[in-house]
Every structure is written in structure tokens, then in C-alpha cells.
A = this chain, B = another copy of it.
Amino acid sequence: MSEDRRLRVLRAIVQDYVETSEPVGSKALLERHRLGVSAATVRNDMAALEEDGLIAAPHTSAGRVPTDAGYRLFVDRLSQLKPMTSAEQRAIAHFLEGAVDLDDVVDRTVRLLASLTRQVAVVQYPSLSRSSVRHVELVPIGGPRLLVVLITTTGRVEQRVVDVGTDLLSADGEDTLATLRAELNGAAAGRTLADASSELAALPERVDPGLREVVRAVVAALEDCLVEEREERLVLAGTANLARAGSDFVSSLGPVLEALEEHVVLLKLLGTVAEQGGTLAVRIGHENPYAGLQSTSMVSTGYGAGTDLVAGLGVVGPTRMDYPSAMASVRAVATYVSRILAD
């Protein structure tokens, strides 16, 4: 019994099942694939595959359906990324290039991914701990109140209003502010978020005692911004695609939608991916540690400007998913959006 052919049979089953969403039997398989053997042989192979836990029958005398393990084998060894047509590539590039700012890039990316794959798309905002502080700005906004603005290298901006107790403008005014600004930027600018955080913490001790309270207040606000900034955000699109999946899947839609609202969960999944470097990660069904997502698969990868991978993106859909094309789309979009961000 040829091991090789058995795998070809598995591949054919996965392909057919993904396409028809119905259990596939030995006869149907022969009609759609030139396997060069008879139905009986295929049946023997299928029995063996079932023995190995790669496929399963919903009930006697229905066709077979791939198990999570079957999909896993398919993804690892039996499939190759479906190449993007040049038309698709142009469409991707064109769609992403119209973006005016970071929000727009993310927004367009997630929509693009959802419509390419017809799955739920997930895009993490590029703001990992790898980003660093570009600039700290202080703006007096009347009375003793100061607007503290933090700008990171990934282009994100956080701001806080701080009541510093004294009116810095009325007294020695702009000078104090300029000094303070210089001190803060000296401590934070160019450093990673974590480094900046610890540098800033030491700052109040090093300045003129008269300013100490002011600095303390400003630093506290900045710390707050830094934490917020490290707190990762993400954006979803295409949840409606879930409703178009097979009716079996729709019945368990509730938990999936709930899980998708748990951004923390999704961020964790994307996070581990981003760390692994530029490879495509695929999580299939029960490989997923979160209960609500165990009827789904997630295809994801990292993206970001330059060599630094700053965030992750991917798609979530039923385990019965067209992996080769989903993987290709995810990779292509990640590549393009990274290129856009490099500017």
C-alpha cells in the first residue's frame, strides 16, 4: 500500500471538502481527481487514513471529513501557497497605497484581507514594545494645565492633560517649559518604551527641587502613556463572512463572536506569531488554546517596517478553510503593508 498515494488521497479529500463542504466519498473522489486507481483501493486508503486519525466519518455511510490532524498534515506537507495573480497583486498595492495615515493603513489592510480571503481579518496596530519614543512635547493649555504628548517611532500619539499646580507661563514661562521639554526628551527620546519608562522614573530626583513636583506629575502622565502605548490594539473586519460558512458552523457562532471580541486573546495569538519571525503561522481547530476558537483556524504572520516585526495580522475562519489561498493572501498583504510602512 503506497504511502505516497495515501497522502494524495488525503490531499484530494481536503480540497474537495473545502470546496463542497460535504463529506467526500470514494466515488466522488475518483470523479474529480485522476488517482489512477479504483474506488476499492481508495476505500482501503481511506480506512487507513481514518485509522491514523487524519480523517473521520460523521456517521457510517457518509463520506469522510478531515480532522484537525488531517488539515495539519495537509498544511505542512501537502499544499503549497496559491500564487497571487498579478492582477491581485496590483489590486493589493493599489488599494493600500491610497492610505493617508497609520489609521488608514490599518483600516485598509484589514478590509483588504477580509475581502481577499472572505474570512474574518485581524490586524494588530503596529505598536509593540519594539517601538520607541520619538518625541515628548509639552503644550500649555491655560492655567496650571499642561498637555503632555508622547510620539513614538511607529507614529502613534498619546496625550494627557496634567495639572502641574503652578502656572508655568505666568512666571518664568517658556524658559522653564523649554528646559523641562529638553530634560524629558533627553531621558526618553530614542529609547524603547521600556527603557524610556525607567529613565523617566529617575528624572524627578535629578532636577531642581522647585520643579520636582511638576516633573513628578508630568512623568506620571508619561508613564501612563507608555503603558497605554504598550497596550496593544487591533482591528477586525469581515465578521459577516462567518455567517456564510456551513450551517453546522453557524450554529456555534456565538462563542466564536465572543472570542473575537476578546481582543486580548487575539493579541496573544498574534503576539506569539510576531515573535517567531516572518513565517506564516497556522493554528488549526483544537491546536488553539482558547475554547471559543476551537472550531476555527487562524492563519497569521508578522509585519512591520524594516527588519523589525512590529505587529501581527491574519485571518480567522472555520477549520474548513482554503488554507493555500488564505496563507498566500496573508503573506502577500503582510509584505505589502510592511513596504508601505517602511516610508
Residues of A within 8 A of B (CB): 100-101, 134-135, 137, 139, 141, 147, 149, 151, 155, 157-161, 224, 228, 237-240, 242-244, 250, 253-255, 257-258, 260-261
**Residue in A159, A238, A242 whose Cβ sees the most chain B Cβ within 10 Å:** A159
**Residue in A224, A238, A254 whose Cβ sees the most chain B Cβ within 10 Å:** A254
Chain B residues within an 8 Å CB radius of A244: 254
Q: How many copies does the complex hold?
A: 2
Chain B residues within an 8 Å CB radius of A151: 139, 147, 159
Chain B residues within an 8 Å CB radius of A155: 159, 161
Question: Is there contact, CB below 8 Å, between B228 and A254?
Answer: no
Query: Can you name 9 A-B residue pairings with CB atoms under 8 Å?
Result: A100-B224, A137-B137, A137-B149, A139-B151, A155-B159, A240-B255, A240-B260, A243-B253, A253-B253
A261 in complex: contacting residue of B101, B240, B261, CB < 8 Å: B240
Which residue on B lies nearest to A243, using beta carbons? B254
Question: Is there contact, CB below 8 Å, between B243 and A261?
Answer: no
Closest chain B CB from A298 CB (angstroms): 18
CA separation between A158 and B257, bound complex, in Å? 31
Chain B residues within an 8 Å CB radius of A160: 101
